[in-house]
Amino acid sequence: MAFQLRQAAIACALAASALAAAPAMAHEAGDILVKVGASYVAPKNDNGEILGNGTKLSIGENARPSFTLTYMATQNIGVELLGALPFQHDIRASGLGNIGKAKHLPPTLSLQWHFLPESTIQPYVGVGVNYTRFFDEQSGLGKLKIDDSWGIAGQIGVDVKLSDRWFLNADVRYIDIDSDVHLNGVKIGKANIDPWVYSVGVGYRF
């Protein structure tokens, strides 16, 4: 899935090159941008330790449908909310194998700067705050609980105009997710997930 999403991002860039000569339809102040697509969450390689004995955590990857809503305060400034269907991650530990799984929702609110609002190809950057809610944790070792997390999020992305209303989108985010891990009510460590999130989709401007 990661390869497919990255290939889609490349396709989006190629479409941008092909459309560079097309008339640009700018996002305007007051516009609402709705984007629907898919996001791939890839946690960093080292996800922390548990049990106090050097046991390493490894959090699996996952892809799910996602969407964003963006309000354009000006031609350059947008406020975006990211949502998705619940992601599910396998949880592994060194020497123990697969010890459980958990689901999470990652709503993220970002302030964006759109560099070229009059262009067919509209790159942007964003920074904001992420709230990650974990739920439906399961483990054969006992009652597993992963605390919810607040953290910063950054992104780079591009909108590629197809018409007055429709456009393609691709972006990459880094999200700071650090959560305490509990087993049978006892804290056993901290999960440092800190994923890169790759998204592609199609958008409509209202």
| pLDDT per position as a tens digit, 20-72 | 444 556 788 999 999 999 999 999 988 888 887 888 999 999 999 999 999 99
Tokens coding 22: 């097309």
pTM over 0.85: no
Written as one letter, the residue type at 167 is F
Number of domains in the chain: 1
What's the mean pLDDT when you consider all of the chain? 89
Check which CATH number belongs to the domain holding 195 and give it: 2.40.160.20
Cα–Cα distance between 61 and 5 in angstroms, integer? 13
Are 69 and 36 within 8 A, CB to CB? no
| pLDDT tens profile 122-175 | 999 999 999 999 999 999 889 999 999 999 999 999 999 999 899 999 999 999
Average pLDDT score over residue span 69-90: 96
> Which DSSP string do the residues of 4-27 spell out, in sequence order?
HHHHHHHHHHHHHHHTTTSPP---
User: Which pLDDT score is estimated for 9?
Assistant: 47
Its domain, for residue 148, covers 2-205
Average pLDDT score over residue span 1-6: 51
* Inter-CA distances, 125 with 31, 35, 66, 110, 160, Å: 18, 16, 19, 9, 15
In 3D space, the residue among 155, 152, 156 whose CA is nearest the CA of residue 177 turns out to be 152
The gap from C-alpha 67 to its chain's centroid, in whole angstroms, comes to 10
